[in-house]
Amino acid sequence: MALVFYARVSSKGQNLDRQLARVNEVKADKIFTDKQSGKDLNRPGLERMFEYIREGDIVEVVSLDRLSRDYNDIQHLVQRLKDKKVKLIVDDLPQTNTGNELVDQFMLDMMVNLMGFVAQNERTKILERQRQGIAEAKRKGVYKGRPKKYAAQSKNREGRLVYEKVYDAIMSGNYKSKAQLAREVGLSRQQLYRIINRINDQNK
């Protein structure tokens, strides 16, 4: 049985130190890492981990969003681990590591399902806030319908990935400065601040 640790940050400019500090505590046998958006499942470290693990192994992450930020992708990855008969330990969900395998799996499934409910509820709230904002802007005659390039729902794939990197960094606080973050994702500071303002408005 091997204890395998997986760590991820969203961009090459971010560091893994906070997650990897846990490795020494748990004495992991193997470490796999990625510096890539959690929206993309095509990650070399993640795939190498799945090639490495065997029945009876344990995979540990500091939080579920290190596997992915997308609920459906998390469901998919958790099921892949189940299919390989590999246990998943999530550090910030101690209920998934009680020592009783049946209880641990039940709690993990429940938490993943709860995440799905929360994610769907949050998407509904965001869409409702957007609808209300558009209606108010139209009422004031200031609505501009041109779609934003850097947004979660942008039709521009590169724009979506840039937005996700900024969102991940801002929500986790894992960046040294906004100026450096802007350079890492290839934006001007003005563009970065506009994205951050939208993120803050959506999370009020």
Please identify every residue annotated as catalytic: 10
Task: In whole angstroms, give the CA distance from residue 108 to residue 16.
Answer: 24
Taking alpha carbons only, the member of 164, 181, 4, 176 closest to residue 68 is 164
Nearest to 22 by CA among 40, 41, 3: 3
Q: What is the DSSP string of 114-161?
A: HHHHHHHHHHHHHHHHHHHHHHHHHHHT----PPPSSSTT-S-HHHHH
